[in-house]
Structure 1
Amino acid sequence: MNPSEQIICKPTPWFTLRAVAMLAMFSVFAVLFFIDGTTGYRKKNLEFYVHATFQKASATFAKMNEDKTLTAESWKDFASEQNVDFPEDSSVLPKDLELPMKWPAVLQDYGKMKELQPHLLWQKYSGENRMSNSPPEHDFDSGKIREQIVVFYICLGLALLTLYFLIRTTLRSLRADDEALTTASGARIPYQDMKSLDLRKWDTKGIAVVEYDGNSGKGRARIDGLTYGGFKKDQGEPAEKLMQKIRSNFSGEIIEYTSIDEPESPSERPENN
């Protein structure tokens, strides 16, 4: 390595891929919860109550026709006056639904009702009205619907937070030249201001901590080799080169674990698995 060479460590694919995957996951969840909270659960409620009407109509027809005297006209007169039983809280139903809602026309048909097969009638009706052949087993109250909106905002917040860190990290880098280390946040720390270099997590997690005190100020700086540079051999192990650059110019205290065990090799770090 050229002593005067500046080492630049940019964000690694290991970080970028995981951040993009998290962003996609939170975004998909946000969309799904938004749909359920705004229209999805309301549509399922409509399906639940209309499907229950098919069961009710079948039972009513069977009871009215026990003596086999029910006529098509009398059934039509009765059924055409019936409304679907919805809960008093209309907020749990689709906003564009016109209330009251009459029984579907298929339930007013004496010939079809006489077969007493509500499941077949439902399959036909649901197919024509873009409803599920298998309606939900229970309805969803207003609390459940609000719950979906709350979770939507949580997922949206996490997606935006992930996007923020993805963009911020993508625009950053770690740099080391012959005079100083420039951290990911842009702080320039001269080697002469560095008091200690903590390498206890470098071999296992790719993280080191620098404590400094001098003209550049006083504080601690984190060096994240897995996020910036990486340890892939086919890419020249940029993070390891950065650390070598720092150590070759550093004269303060180095903190390391004292162990007879072999340190984990860079190839065994998470980004290489």
Structure 2
Amino acid sequence: MITRTTEKESNHQGLDKMSTTDLLTNMNKEDQTVPDAVAANIPAIEKLVDITVDRMKEGGRLFYIGAGTSGRLGVLDASECPPTFGVPHDWVMGLIAGGDTAIRKAVENAEDDAEQAWTDLLRYDISSKDVLVGIAASGTTPYVIGGLERANAAGLVTGCIVCNAGSPIAAAAQYPVEVVVGPEFVTGSTRMKSGTAQKLVLNMLSTAVMIKLGRVKGNRMVDMQLSNQKLVERGVLMVMEQTGANEQDAKAYLEQYGSVRAAVEQYEKSSDNA
């Protein structure tokens, strides 16, 4: 049996004998290696971003599939796109082995079913316009492998985010991202460095895609959902900054038109016609 990098013994011994300070310091030292591993994969991430943008401009969607921590990270990233960028909920979707129950509680053997991912995807009328990204630290999860293989056969673009080199999932993906972060602080606990690496890559992927699709102006989330008072206040400031309007007018336009982008556009039209 080949020992995967993510399963190799920790660089640290006697964790149960360490002081709290030593535990935290050593975990932090390990975590500091993760951004460098991600940086080494920017060319691969770039290719995945660009092909995803191309497909989404044609009406395609971005899907994530994964199990356990990897699946939860995909669901998290997908769920944050609508409030952050004001996009429909079906633009980016995350599916986890075992269904929504598995977001909070592990579902036994769900990740070992190589057919279930494609069954799950078919519920969303998956098509050749779509992009499917498999997320798995090990690179060997059957749920993800099966989903990618079926997606390839159906003409989808496929990518992956894994934390072992030369994995079956990377072999199945057209646009693999292999972020090898080395042994975990707690041996085999891929919720740690591997999970952090996957989260960083997902941040980069979805954010870069949304920026290139025009959902950010300058550095502002002009299409964000105004779902709480903090975001409304942020929106008012953004309208004021972009238009020179006073706070009262900025708030009125924001409330009337529902987004920073629309409020700015309408304010500027009103000013032009004045």
Q: TM-score range by the shorter chain?
A: under 0.3
What TM-score does the superposition give when structure 1 sets the normalisation length?
0.22
Pick 1 or 2: higher relative contact order, CA cutoff 8 A, min separation 6: 1
Q: Tell which structure's C-alpha radius of gyration is larger.
A: 1
What TM-score does the superposition give when structure 2 sets the normalisation length?
0.22
Query: Which has a greater percent of strand?
Result: 1
